[in-house]
Copies of this chain bind each other. A is one copy, B any other.
């Protein structure tokens, strides 16, 4: 990557030998645990109950700390509004509060101090720099701006990086296209669903997406960009490179991002967050070596307002690379396989719905790419044949298509399926940000 700018936003944290970073991480971990113990009633209780002295914990002792789960955060916020008993600061120190949409009605809240926002800015800058954004880039923020952390934080992180921000948001496509046709554009940050919606809007309004000049596009919030078929389709439509990235409101809007190699998402949170991979059933740690799969767990080590310790993400990931990347970054790389509570076990074998979707999407345009798995009970175990609804696309012989999809699933995923072909449009997401791959 030649040019007038350096290759990495923060070379020290991004490209150092992990052994070199170790003492710093250990120091930050200990400081965070002591701070959290002293300021958060929730963690004081949890650590005391687990018999853990926070000042005595090192990187190798993470497993001695209790997990925190999403539901715990929800309950502590209901009991002690607004931020819950893991909050460590008062109103005077809080700079911004974000709110998740909350599937059960009441939103869960995340607070940030000025220092927390600074950490968010650093993380956004590292990730988007890896996606090709530079101080002379023009970046369209095509995300909901408001309660959802992603929009505002990508906007502020882009400004922090030095880019020119075009704050389009996701509510005014006509005005946004009108502006970016005048300004030209290097970069878009959005979700796969929304850029696909924008592409449809552009088609209907005779806007030539390729004339906008987009070179790179960062997509997160849902798995789409990690799927090779979806990615290729978006890249072809917009004439740009697509980068998958991933984070969470509770920690930071982006913690993982692809680099120019587009070969899995690098961990980008060095110095701010410790990631772990655990077995979702037993909770025991899994080494982040190539091919390993498991549930993501985060521990804050640089957080003031609402730190979370060993926070279970409910995201199942696969490590796709652990050797140094040719981009120069030293962190391992992952892709997201789906949500832990979407995971199925078919005769003892873990099956991730996104893997099923990947296989089905191979058949495009004979299928639209939308699928839905119908599990026969609440648990992860399902009896084969697994019932899968698939939207057909440009296909005349539905019987042949059904047989071919079932055959490929058997070959690639080693389980028997019963494919039901349904009309195009039946399963496409309807206005939701995220697609539901499994119904029970």
- Residues on A lying within 8 angstroms of B by beta carbon are 77, 81-82, 90-92, 94-99, 101, 106-107, 109, 111, 114, 117, 135-138, 145-147, 151-152, 155-156, 159, 162, 164-169, 171-172, 175-176, 178-179, 182-184
Task: Give the nearest-CB partner of A138 in chain B.
Answer: B91
**Minimal beta-carbon separation of A120 from chain B (angstroms):** 12
Closest to A145 in B: B145
| Nearest B residue to A147, CB-CB | B175
Q: A81-B182, A169-B147 are in contact. Are A175 and B95 (CB under 8 A)?
A: no
Given A145-B145, A159-B95, residue A167 in contact with residue B179 (CB < 8 A): no
Beyond A95-B162, A145-B145, A146-B169, 9 extra complex contacts between A and B, CB < 8 Å: A81-B182, A97-B165, A97-B166, A107-B182, A109-B183, A145-B169, A146-B168, A147-B167, A152-B167
How many copies of the polypeptide does the oligomer hold?
A: 2
Which residues does chain B contribute within 8 Å of A172, judged by CB atoms?
Answer: 146-147
Q: Which of these, B77, B135, B159, B167, contacts A146 with CB under 8 Å?
A: B167
B contact residues around A114 at 8 Å (CB): 159, 162
List 9 A-B pairs, minimum CB-CB distance, nearest first.
Answer: A146-B169, A145-B145, A94-B164, A82-B183, A92-B136, A82-B182, A81-B182, A96-B165, A99-B179
Across the interface, which residues of B come within 8 angstroms of A179, CB to CB?
82, 97, 99, 107, 109, 147
Closest-by-CB residue of B relative to A178 is: B107
Closest to A135 in B: B92
Instruction: Decide yes or no: A183 and B81 within 8 Å by CB, A92-B136, A159-B117 being known contacts.
Output: yes
A118 nearest CB across to chain B (Å):
11
Closest-by-CB residue of B relative to A106 is B178
Q: How far is the CA of A20 from the CA of B8 in the complex (A)?
A: 48
Q: How far is the CA of A135 from the CA of B135 in the complex (A)?
A: 31
CB contacts (< 8 Å) of A147 on chain B: these are 167-169, 172, 175-176, 179
**Residues of B with C-beta under 8 A to A77:** 182
Subset of 20 A-B contacts with CB under 8 Å:
A81-B183, A82-B179, A82-B182, A82-B183, A91-B136, A92-B135, A92-B136, A92-B162, A94-B164, A95-B162, A96-B159, A96-B164, A97-B167, A97-B183, A101-B175, A106-B182, A107-B175, A107-B179, A111-B164, A147-B179
Q: Give the distance in Å from the alpha carbon of A97 to the alpha carbon of B156 in the complex.
A: 13
Q: How far is the CA of A303 from the CA of B117 in the complex (A)?
A: 27
Given A182-B81, A182-B109, CB of A145 within 8 Å of CB of B136? no
- Residues from chain B with a CB closer than 8 A to the CB of A81 are 182-183
Q: Whole-angstrom distance between the alpha carbons of A91 and B98 in the complex?
A: 31
Say how far A385's CB is from chain B's closest CB, in angstroms.
41
Distance in angstroms from A257 CB to nearest chain B CB is 22
A94 / chain B contacts, CB cutoff of 8 Å: 164
Residues of B close to A92: CB separation below 8 A: 135-136, 162
- Please report the C-alpha to C-alpha distance between residue A332 and residue B125 in the assembled complex, in whole angstroms: 43
Shortest distance from the beta carbon of A176 to any chain B beta carbon, whole Å: 7
For the complex, give the distance between the alpha carbons of A47 and B24 in Å. Answer: 58
Task: Check A167 against B98 for contact (C-beta < 8 Å).
Answer: yes
Contacts of A162 in B (CB 8 A): 92, 95, 114
The distance in angstroms between the C-alpha atoms of A91 and B152, with both chains bound, is 21
Do the beta carbons of B98 and A164 come within 8 Å of each other?
no
Give the docked Cα–Cα distance between A178 and B77 (Å).
13
A164, closest chain B residue (CB): B94
B contact residues around A169 at 8 Å (CB): 145-147
A95 & B165 in contact (Cβ 8 Å cutoff): yes
Q: Roughly how many angstroms separate A184 CA and B111 CA in the complex, as a whole number?
A: 14
Q: How far is the CA of A82 from the CA of B136 in the complex (A)?
A: 15
Counting chain B CB atoms within 10 Å of each CB, which of A77, A90, A107 scores highest? A107
Minimum Cβ distance to chain B for residue A157 (Å): 12
Taking a contact as CB atoms under 8 Å apart, the answer to whether B159 and A152 are in contact is no
Question: What is the minimal beta-carbon distance from A179 to any residue of chain B, in angstroms?
Answer: 5
Q: How long is the Cα–Cα vector from A182 to B179 in the complex, in angstroms?
A: 37
Inter-chain CA distance A77–B179, complex, in Å, is 12
Complex CA–CA separation, A169 to B172 (angstroms)? 14
Complex CA–CA separation, A96 to B152 (angstroms): 13
